[in-house]
Amino acid sequence: MEKESNKRSFSAKRKEGSFQGKRTTKGSDKPRRRFHSDDEQDNERPARKFGDKKPARKFAGQRGGGTGRPRKAQFDDDKPKRRRDVTAESEILTEIVNKRKMEGRQAPRKQKILSLEYEEQYGPIRLNKYIANAGICSRREADTLIETGAIKVNGEIVTELGTKVMPTDEVRYGDRILQREKPVYILLNKPKDYITTTRDEFDRKDVMQLIKGACKERVYPVGRLDRNTTGLLLFTNDGEMAKKLTHPSHNIYKIYKVELDKNLKTSDFEEICNGVELDDGVIKPDELAYVGDSKREIGITIHSGKNRIVRRIFEHFGYEVVKLDRTVYAGLTKKDLPRGEWRFLTEEDINILKRSLGKKSL
């Protein structure tokens, strides 16, 4: 009788799921692969959960090789590559820029930047910041002053927080007129073809371009000169002084050198000295004189601040003003100040202005 074998059948082992192969590959101690039943959990490798990303497939042409769809060609060698004509574009842009420079215009992007700079320098400012910049107190304390009615703007009490004021507005705290920045005074010898304005919607040349970068404070012209009129023009952020310099009651005198298209007749000369009746009233110059040998060049001293007053006086008698130059303004002269240049006023210059307003020197 044959001996009964202790070995179990292969099929039984497969059903129980407990088969463990003991054969190894030649030259290796690695056991054969183990088969698991459906009920047995694999503790060595956790099951993939919902939401886990599958490992990326490797397509043909990628690093690591593998099979799959071929890599898409990025360029078609049969078709010629189209390149931008950079040279042509550069020539067009250069032509546009040069044309704008000849016309004295800024590029559109620069216009936008200048517009923002204008709003920052010459636009409105919050009242509490204005008071703080004047050195009175902090912004929070300034809000308290505003709420209590201690601040006046152009003669009216302002109690609303968030109120904005312009550089030309008069802000008072008690009897004191506040300056939102330290006072700055600039004297310009204005050339021809520049208009007296802080901003021009037609993109013409203005006097602010001539003093650009002179100071960080916001200054503006005192009075105005026509586009074709040259000579002295004062800029400042001192609102109180600017107001008094332009008010006719202070009799601020200006001296102009006039060149006419023809000689000034003696009869017209005497009539101008006696006073000229224009549409807006009688104008009498403080002084009138011939300059040089020619009677076409006239010197006139006047304190009126009416618009185009010197030109209108001579046009009333049928003369055309060819050149008009303001040589003296409130005691300040053009000495050592070439055309188109500017300079800061010295303490002596400021004292001259204050004396012309009837103020004491510093």
The tens digit of pLDDT for each residue in 168-215 reads 788 898 888 887 677 899 999 999 999 998 877 788 899 999 999 998
| Shared fold status for 120-177 and 185-248+335-356 | no
Q: Which CATH architecture has domain 120-177?
A: Roll (3.10)
- Model confidence, pTM: 0.55
Q: What is the rounded CA–CA span in Å between residue 72 and residue 62?
A: 11
Per-residue pLDDT band at 243 (split at 50, 70, 90): confident
- What residue spans define the domains of the chain? 120-177, 185-248+335-356, 253-329
Mean predicted confidence (pLDDT) in 7-17: 50
- The secondary structure of 88-107 as a DSSP string is HHHHHHHHHHHHHHHTT---
How do residues 44-68 score in pLDDT, each as one tens digit?
Answer: 555 555 555 555 555 544 555 455 5
Q: Are 287 and 310 in contact (CB under 8 A)?
A: no
How far apart CA 235 and CA 222 sit, in angstroms, is 6
Lowest mean pLDDT among 27-36, 121-130, 243-252, 346-355: 27-36
**For residue range 334-343, what is the model confidence (pLDDT) as tens digits?**
999 999 999 9
Tens-digit pLDDT profile for residues 210-230: 999 998 888 889 988 999 999
Average pLDDT, integer, range 252-262: 95
- 45 or 166: which leads in pLDDT: 166
Res 323 pLDDT > 60: yes
**With 70 as the cut, is the pLDDT of residue 303 above it?**
yes
CATH classification of 253-329 is 3.30.70.1560, yes or no?
yes
Give, for 348, the enclosing helix (H) or strand (E).
helix 347-356
Provide the 8-state DSSP code for 44: S
* Helix, strand or coil, per DSSP, at residue 189: strand
- Among 3.30.70.580, 3.40.50.720, 3.30.1280.10, 2.60.130.10, what is the CATH number of 185-248+335-356? 3.30.70.580
Q: What's the pLDDT at 166?
A: 84
Q: What is the pLDDT of residue 297?
A: 95
From 169, 203, 206, 226, the catalytic residue: 226
More confident residue, 354 or 57: 354
User: Is 226 assigned a catalytic role?
Assistant: yes
